[in-house]
A and B are shown apart, each in its own frame.
Chain A
Amino acid sequence: MSQFLQATVYGLLEGGLLALVAIGFSLVWGVMNIVNLAQGAFVITGAYIAWKLNTELGLDPYLGMFVAAAALFVAGYVIQRLLINQIVNAPIWMTLLLTFGLDLLIVQGLQLLFTADFRAINTSWGTDGFAIGDVRVPYGRLAGFILAVAVTLALVWFMSRTRSGLAIRTTGMDRAAARLMGVNVRHTYALTFGLAAALAGMAGAILGSITTFSPSAAGGYTLQSFVIAVLGGLGNMWGALAGGILLGLVQAWGGQYLSGTLVNAIAFGVLVLVLIVRPAGLVGRPYYEARAEA
């Protein structure tokens, strides 16, 4: 029983960070109808920035994450404005190919810079923790979870209370109408993508302090983002948080009770099933038409 509770706590806490990775992904897909295959690469980039700051300057990852977020915001803004905006109206495999090319560039670039070795950011306090009965709660994971919830709250506030946030939502609902109302769509798209990249980088910095990472881990985070975004409904921030926690729990329980990597097969099975039965996600509605036959 205590093993089950321990797995539950770890799954819950890590699920929050997975949600932080997926919120941006979900937002980009929901608002712009772009599936960003480079999302995992942004996460790993954030982890490397925090790691570099930690090893060179001794900066705590919870401070390094702001640097990572800022750097990735700029990178994301520029990528969307200069590259992806140019082919937004092309057939959709174009955007898939473009972001896959970017993924290759970033992941291989990181590998050339930092080699393929596994890294971890060691903090003095991250592995300490307290215990409730038999269940251990490490401070590092707990702080990551609190951060994820706080960022989700901040993002919900931003999207519903600021002009930029409203512009993003309007653009997602009807691009042409948003333009007529004077929204600068090119800037709004770039802002959305930059925001998504920044959140991924922030999550990466924290993930780097609680697990090991290497450039090859990027693909896994992208795939998890798919599952979470689809579970939660595209562009739905609460849905992404719920989906992330759900995936974290399922993976933790699966790791406990199922042999090998069978849990991954289940995750993909659930993904396909949800897509077929409810393409709008477990909650919410699709921004873009999902089915060929209505």
Chain B
Amino acid sequence: MSATREEPSTTRVASRGGLNLTGRSPAWWLGAAALLLGLVVLVLAPTYLLLESEQRTLGSVFMFVVLAQGWNLIGGFAGYPSFGNVVFFGLGGYTTAVLMAKAGASFWITVPAAAAVGLGFAVLMGIPILRLKGHYFAIATLGVAEGMREVVINTGELTGGNKGITVPAVGSEATTSYPGNTGFYFYFLALAVISVVVVWAVARSRFGYALRAISQDEDAAAAAGINTTRTKIAAFAVSGVLTALAGAIYAFQQVTIYPERLFAVDITVLMVVMAVLGGAGTVLGPVIGAVSLQYLSEWLRDNFPDYHTFVFGGIIVLAVLVVPMGIVNFTRDAWRRKRIALFESVRQYRL
């Protein structure tokens, strides 16, 4: 521990941006080791632990980690509640599906193409729409997503319209051999790890601080010298790229995709619920939210097949009232104050 004593405290503050391995507390090392161990377990799990069906379930959990983190950047950090983030998911999915089915492209070529489409659309749409705020922004993004779905439905020659589009996945026509449940497990796991690392890097960078400043007071942030327009568009673009990549993998996994599913409002709502219930604007919150809600949803589906959506609605209502600041922040506050305060937030937010 000699390194700890030699490090002056000022250096620690100054080196906050990078990954500094010296001068870390034992708790930090413990946490890092646990994360690494968890990752190793997840990588080895398909071979030794999991059934095919369980890999499929976990794959969808990882996908929602990516989607929730994508929303977290624009909704959680920048405070712009996008209610149309599914548009990137749908565009990414359709980029992959159309390129594979119509142009005979390999899946690996369509992945960067999907990312580029996500990026381009986020910038083009962000320039006018990020000037709106609050509900106006939420409704405008919702309108864009719904409108894009209708466009996809009505351009049948290219996208197959309502009848859907099928990716050539088997036989001699397949452009890339279908990787199966284990393959998609790893694709989604890799993307989930990337998304967490990206958000982690953003959270501790100058960019991340700028986003938090915008979320708290945009005028003050601008006065402090932050180019708010560029910062918001950048956050939207990163969010769009991550979400589009998830859509690309999802389209290949599903083989046949339909506009109703790929542009479903429900997917946006799930992103929001997961990010918010886990803890919007935190790195781990969306992961916790995605894992717990996706498992809860599966459990409800198995145990209450007829009314799981009904119960899910009730859980959303209850959760908004009990933990509106998210599980991560709730736990941290409870830990610091050494007491569990249910409905504490209601005291704070009520009329």
A contact set with B: CB distance below 8 Å: 29, 33, 35, 83, 85-94, 96-98, 100-105, 108-109, 112, 185-186, 189, 219, 223, 226, 230, 259-262, 264-265, 268-269, 271-272, 275-276, 279, 288-293
Name the contact of B265 in the complex, choosing from A83, A85, A219 (C-beta under 8 A).
Answer: A219
Judged by a CB distance under 8 angstroms, whether B272 is at the interface is yes
CB contacts (< 8 Å) of B312 on chain A: these are 104
Cβ B314 vs Cβ A105 within 8 A: yes
Name the contact of B143 in the complex, choosing from A93, A262, A275 (C-beta under 8 A).
Answer: A275
A264 to B113 alpha-carbon distance, docked (Å): 28
CB contacts (< 8 Å) of B265 on chain A: these are 219
**Given A92-B81, A93-B276, A291-B136, 18 extra CB contacts under 8 A:** A29-B135, A87-B321, A87-B350, A91-B280, A92-B135, A93-B75, A94-B276, A96-B83, A101-B315, A103-B313, A104-B313, A108-B307, A108-B309, A108-B313, A276-B131, A290-B134, A291-B131, A293-B229
Q: List 15 A-B contacts (CB under 8 A).
A: A86-B351, A90-B324, A96-B135, A97-B276, A101-B314, A104-B310, A108-B309, A261-B153, A262-B154, A265-B150, A276-B131, A279-B136, A291-B131, A291-B132, A292-B232
Q: Which residue of A has the minimal Cβ distance to B316?
A: A101
Judged by a CB distance under 8 angstroms, whether B79 is at the interface is yes
Whether A104 touches B346, Cβ cut-off 8 Å, given contacts A93-B276, A292-B228, is no
CB contacts (< 8 Å) of A108 on chain B: these are 307, 309-310, 313
Judged by a CB distance under 8 angstroms, whether B139 is at the interface is yes
Cβ A293 vs Cβ B131 within 8 A: yes
A91 to B280 alpha-carbon distance, docked (Å): 11
Cβ A272 vs Cβ B140 within 8 A: yes
Whether A97 touches B316, Cβ cut-off 8 Å, given contacts A88-B350, A109-B310, A268-B147, is yes
Which has the most chain A C-beta neighbours within 10 Å: B134, B229, B348? B134
A288 to B139 alpha-carbon distance, docked (Å): 14
Query: Beta-carbon contacts of B128-161 to A below 8 Å, as 1s and 0s?
Result: 1111111110111011101100110110000001
Cβ B276 vs Cβ A83 within 8 A: no
Judged by a CB distance under 8 angstroms, whether B302 is at the interface is no
Cβ B129 vs Cβ A189 within 8 A: no
B contact set with A: CB distance below 8 Å: 75, 79, 81, 83, 128-136, 138-140, 142-144, 146-147, 150-151, 153-154, 161, 218, 222, 228-229, 232, 265, 269, 272-273, 276, 280, 306-307, 309-310, 312-317, 320-321, 324, 345-346, 348-351
CB contacts (< 8 Å) of A262 on chain B: these are 150, 154
Please give the distance in Å from B303's CB to the nearest CB on chain A: 16
Please give the distance in Å from B76's CB to the nearest CB on chain A: 9
Cβ B321 vs Cβ A86 within 8 A: yes
Please give the distance in Å from B211's CB to the nearest CB on chain A: 13
Interface SS of B by simple majority: helix
A271 to B145 alpha-carbon distance, docked (Å): 12
Please give the distance in Å from B65's CB to the nearest CB on chain A: 19
CB contacts (< 8 Å) of A33 on chain B: these are 134-135
Q: Which residue of B has the minimal Cβ distance to A179?
A: B351
CB contacts (< 8 Å) of B161 on chain A: these are 260
Please give the distance in Å from A11's CB to the nearest CB on chain B: 19
CB contacts (< 8 Å) of A185 on chain B: these are 351
Cβ B139 vs Cβ A35 within 8 A: yes
A289 to B218 alpha-carbon distance, docked (Å): 13
Cβ B139 vs Cβ A86 within 8 A: no
Cβ A35 vs Cβ B320 within 8 A: no
Which has the most chain A C-beta neighbours within 10 Å: B310, B314, B320? B320
A279 to B84 alpha-carbon distance, docked (Å): 18
Cβ A292 vs Cβ B218 within 8 A: yes
A163 to B140 alpha-carbon distance, docked (Å): 35
Whether A104 touches B136, Cβ cut-off 8 Å, given contacts A291-B131, A292-B131, is no
Please give the distance in Å from B318's CB to the nearest CB on chain A: 8
A230 to B321 alpha-carbon distance, docked (Å): 29
Whether A223 touches B146, Cβ cut-off 8 Å, given contacts A102-B317, A230-B139, A290-B133, is yes
Whether A96 touches B154, Cβ cut-off 8 Å, given contacts A112-B306, A276-B128, A276-B132, is no
CB contacts (< 8 Å) of A293 on chain B: these are 131, 218, 222, 228-229
Q: Which residue of A has the minimal Cβ distance to B147?
A: A268
A269 to B154 alpha-carbon distance, docked (Å): 14
CB contacts (< 8 Å) of B142 on chain A: these are 226
Cβ A91 vs Cβ B79 within 8 A: yes
CB contacts (< 8 Å) of B128 on chain A: these are 276
A117 to B134 alpha-carbon distance, docked (Å): 37
CB contacts (< 8 Å) of A226 on chain B: these are 139, 142-143
Please give the distance in Å from A272's CB to the nearest CB on chain B: 5
CB contacts (< 8 Å) of A268 on chain B: these are 143-144, 146-147, 150
A228 to B197 alpha-carbon distance, docked (Å): 42
Whether A289 touches B269, Cβ cut-off 8 Å, given contacts A87-B349, A185-B351, is no
Cβ A86 vs Cβ B350 within 8 A: yes
A260 to B155 alpha-carbon distance, docked (Å): 10
Cβ A272 vs Cβ B144 within 8 A: yes
Q: Which residue of A has the minimal Cβ distance to B307?
A: A112
CB contacts (< 8 Å) of B222 on chain A: these are 293
Please give the distance in Å from A35's CB to the nearest CB on chain B: 5
